[in-house]
Amino acid sequence: MDGDSDLPPRSIRMPGPPAEARIAWVAGTGRAVTLELAAGLPLVEAVSRAFAAQGFPGGTVVMDGAALGPFGYVMPALSKDGAHAAYYSDIYRPRGVTRIDQGRMTVGRRDGAPFFHCHAIWTDQEGLTTGGHILPEETVLAEDATVPAFGFRGGVFQADPDPETNFKLFGPVGDGTGDGAAGEDAPAFALRLRPNQDMAGALEGFCAARGIRAARLHGGVGSTIGARFADGQVVRNFATEAFVTRGEIADGIATIDAALVDYSGALAAGRMLRGQNPVLMTYELVLEPR
């Protein structure tokens, strides 16, 4: 771990060798859609059905306002055995209905079945506000919900073993669905940023290499090594669960607003300071050139 006592570390040693390509990506097409999610279904089934109804294998979802119950989640935690650079807490299961204040979701597949990766901040029925990583296998949608999303075709986010982090992580893989792109679709890229690179810098470099001067970010679920915000906030605890609340590239420069919870349970949100927020395990998103 590199750094000093006043700032988050700049890098974290991973258990496996780094992949040569630091950004995994698939070119495809996509468009903004509205998903109608049905109450009483497991959340993973509700979102995968809604994407399929729009003709997409998956994409990203804004989960603000959705009500969950039953609901299970984990928070970031320190690794106990050295097999991972950081790990997860025990499972928490709030009683009653929990409502998401802000959250982002990536919808794809794992082991041949629908799956999602979702980080959020929520308030439970006791009035406690916290955040973390929502568990697909533990979570049911408590109320019907209408949510904005971005459908992606030409590839899908698929959970595969990642030797560098020793986790099974979402990454984009081509699936041929781009061949049937609808006329209203626009070019888009599904991305996964790998560890120990500044998030804004990685996105700026990706865009510059392709002549992209302006783009919108959709979704954005992952983790950073602590955090530094433009308003002076500093998150020193290195293990976080984070998500992008708003992001864009303008004139080649990335502006990213994000929210997170660290392994102490502390919440933070704001505009990320460019050059000062390296990825911890992963960050996946869809980038739409403008």
Q: Write down the domain spans for the chain.
A: 23-176+185-289
Q: Looking at residues 151-170, what average pLDDT do you find?
A: 98
pLDDT digits (tens, 9 = 90+) for 29-41: 999 999 999 999 9
Q: Does domain 23-176+185-289 sit in CATH 3.30.1330.80?
A: yes
pLDDT-derived band at 8 (thresholds 50, 70, 90) equals confident
Q: How far apart are the first and last CA of the chain?
A: 38
User: H/E element holding 31?
Assistant: strand 23-37
Q: How far is CA 59 from CA 198, 234, 259, in A?
A: 23, 31, 20
Position 80: which residue type? Answer: K
pLDDT score of 166 more than 70: yes
Chain segment 218-258, per-residue pLDDT in tens: 999 999 999 999 999 999 999 999 999 999 999 999 999 99
pLDDT over 90, % of the chain: 92
pLDDT for 165 beyond 50: yes
Reported as a pLDDT band with limits 50, 70 and 90, residue 7 is: confident
Handedness of CA 129, 68, 220, 166 (dihedral sign): positive
The CA distances from residue 280 to 12, 149, 212, 218, in Å, are 7, 25, 26, 20
Confidence of residue 204 (pLDDT cuts 50, 70, 90): very high
Mean pLDDT confidence for 165-181: 85
Angle at 112 between CA 70 and CA 90, to 5 degrees: 40
Indicate the pairing of strand 167-174 with strand 267-271.
Answer: unpaired
Q: Assess whether pLDDT exceeds 90 at residue 3.
A: no
Question: In this structure, which long-range contacts are made by residues 118-121, counting pairs with CB atoms below 8 Å and at least 24 apart in sequence?
Answer: 118/61, 118/63, 118/221, 119/221, 119/222, 119/241, 119/242, 119/243, 119/260, 120/63, 120/243, 121/259, 121/261, 121/267, 121/269
- Report the predicted TM-score, pTM, of the whole model to 2 decimal places: 0.96
